[in-house]
Amino acid sequence: MTNEATILDRFLFRLIAVLVASLYVSELGSIHSIFERLLTKAFYYEFGVTLIIGLTVSELIYRINDLLSRKYPLHDHTAMRILLQIVFGLVIPAIAVFLMAAFYFGVNGINIFKTDYLVFVFPLVIILLILLNLLYILVPYFVHAYRLQKESKLRMDLTSLSSALNTGGNVIKVLDGASVLHIDGNEIQLAYIVEGKVLVKMLDKGELLTDYTLDELESMLPAQQFFRINRKLIASKDSCISYKACSYGKLEVEIIPVPPVPAIVSQLKAKVFKEWIGSNA
C-alpha cells in the first residue's frame, strides 16, 4: 500500500493538536482556573515548555512512522513493524519526554523524582503517545480503504454505463447511498412511487432511488419490455406472471417481485395491456 496523504500530514493540524494536548497537560492538577492562570507569567512559561516538548516529540513520532511505513509496511512486515513501532515510536519518545521534563525541572532547581510528575503526568503522556502512534498507523489505512471503495464503485458505474451503451440499452441514473450509478434500463424489473419517491427494483442491486419521474422513466424504457400499469407502477414483461379480471373491467396483475403498490390496470388500458403481454418482444 502506498503512503496515503491525510490530514495528519499537515503540520498546521499537528500543531493545533499539540497545542490542545499541551494546554491540557500543563493544566493537569492545577488548583487555579485557567482564566486565573492566564494572568500569570508562570502559565506561559510552563505552557511554552510543554508545547516545545510536545511538538518535538510529535514531529519525532511523525518522522519515525513515515520512515517505518516506507521500509516496513504493516501489511508486509506486521511483526517487525509492531516491534519497531513500539521501540522507536513509543519507548524512545517516552524517554525523550522524560529527559526533557527532567531537564526543565532541573533548570528550576527541582528533582523530578520528588514531584508527582511520574505519578500523574507521565502516565498521561504514555497514553497520548500510544494514541498518536495508533493515529499515524491506522488513519492512512482507513483513508486507503475508503479510496479503494470509492474507486470500486466508480469502476462499477463505468462498467454499467459501458455495458448499457454497448448493448444499445437506455442508461438510467440511480442513487446507491451517496453514490450515483448509471445502469442499463433493461436490468430494471419494476419502477414505482412510494411516499413521493421514485424507486427502481433490480434483480441484483435491490431497490434503488432515482431522480427521474415515473413519466420520464416510461419514455426512456423500451415499450416492448415495459408497461405503465398505473400512475404509480411500471413493470417489465418478465415480472408480469399472470393477470385476472376484477371489478369494472379492470385487470389485477400478478407481479414477481411483488411491488409495494397495487398492480391494477384501469379499464381504459386493459385491452392495450392484454395485447402487450401477449406480444412477442
Residues in the chain, overall count: 281
Q: Is there a contact between 216 and 193 (Cβ–Cβ < 8 Å)?
A: no
Per-residue pLDDT of 87-118, as tens digits, reads 999 999 999 999 999 999 999 999 999 998 89
pLDDT in tens, 214-245: 999 999 898 999 999 999 999 999 999 999 99
Is the backbone of residue 50 left (phi > 0), alpha (psi -120 to 50) or beta? Answer: alpha
| pLDDT higher at 29 or 108 | 108
Domains by residue range for the chain, with CATH = 7-154 (no CATH), 171-278 (2.40.50.1020)
Q: 196 in the Ramachandran plot: left (φ > 0), alpha (ψ -120 to 50) or beta?
A: left
For 247-265, what is each residue's pLDDT tens digit?
889 999 999 999 999 999 9
Cell numbers that stand for 22 in this block: 499541551
